[in-house]
Amino acid sequence: DTNFQDAHPNDKDPDHNICGPNNPAGATCASAGGPTDKDSCPEWFHKLWDDQKTWLIETMAESTATWQIAVTHFPCGQDGANQAFYRKLRRDYGLDLLVTGHRHDQELWLPNDSRNWMGGLTCFVTGGGGGITSEASPDPMRKGDWYGEAEYGFFDITIGKYSMTIESINYDGKVMKTAQVYPFSGSQSKAPAAGAPSAAPSGAPAPPPGW
C-alpha cells in the first residue's frame, strides 16, 4: 500500500494527507482494523507498507507463474526508496509489469526512459479516467505540464504466454504509446524462463550515484 506516502502527521500538508485535519476530531478506523486515531495514523500506514514489502518478496520468491504483475496506487518509481525496491523486485524476483495510478493522466514508462531506474521494468500510470479533473489540459497543443503521453484515456493489455502488448489509448481512440514485454526470470525467482528475450535492454538507465 504505497499510500504511506500521503500519510503524514496531522498538522502536515493538509491538502495531501489522509491522516490530516480533514478528519474530524476523534476519528478512528479501528472497527475496520485501521488506525485507532489520527496520531497513530501515519505509523499505521508506514508499518503496513513495510509488512507488505516483506509479504510481496516472500510471495514472489515462491511463485512459478509465467507473469509477475504488481498493482499499487502511487505512480511509477515512487516506492519511498528512489526506485530501489522496485528495482530489487525486477532483478531478483522477475517483476514483469508495475501498474499504478494516483496522477490523473496516462504515462507509459519504458525500460529505456531516462526517469526509469527500475532495472528494465515496464510501468504505467493509468489515471486518465480521473473524473472531471486531469493532471493538465488535454489539449495536445499545451503539453508543457504533461508527465506522460496523454491526459484522458485508458490502457489495453494483450497477454500471451511469450509476450505482452501494452497500448496507451487516448480519449479519442488513438494509440499514443506502446510497449512489448517478455517474461523475465529474476536471479532468485522460481518462475521458468519462457523462451523469449528479456524486456530489460542493455541500455536501461542506471540510477544516479548514491540512489
pLDDT in tens, the chain (211 residues): 899 999 999 889 988 899 999 999 899 999 999 999 999 999 999 999 999 999 999 999 999 999 999 999 999 999 999 999 999 999 999 999 999 999 999 999 999 999 999 999 999 999 887 666 888 888 888 998 899 999 999 999 999 999 999 999 999 999 999 999 999 988 887 766 555 444 444 456 665 555 4
The per-residue DSSP string of 92-161 comes to HH---EEEE-SSSSEEEE-TT-TT--SSS-EEEEE-TT-TT--SS---TT--TT-SSSBSSEEEEEEE-S
- What's the predicted TM-score (pTM) here? 0.87
Burial of residue 192 (CB within 10 Å: 0-12, 13-18, 19+) is exposed
Nearest Cα neighbor of 96 from 180, 211, 156, 155 is 180
Find out whether 141 and 159 touch, Cβ atoms under 8 Å. no
Nearest Cα neighbor of 152 from 132, 171, 175 is 171
How confident is the model at residue 186, as a pLDDT?
Answer: 85
Compute CA 165 distance to the chain's CA centroid, rounded to the nearest angstrom.
18
Q: Which three cell numbers stand for residue 103?
A: 496522477
Q: Which three cell numbers stand for residue 167?
A: 497500448
Cα distance between residue 184 and residue 98, in whole Å: 13
Find out whether 172 and 206 touch, Cβ atoms under 8 Å. no
How confident is the model at residue 201, as a pLDDT?
Answer: 47
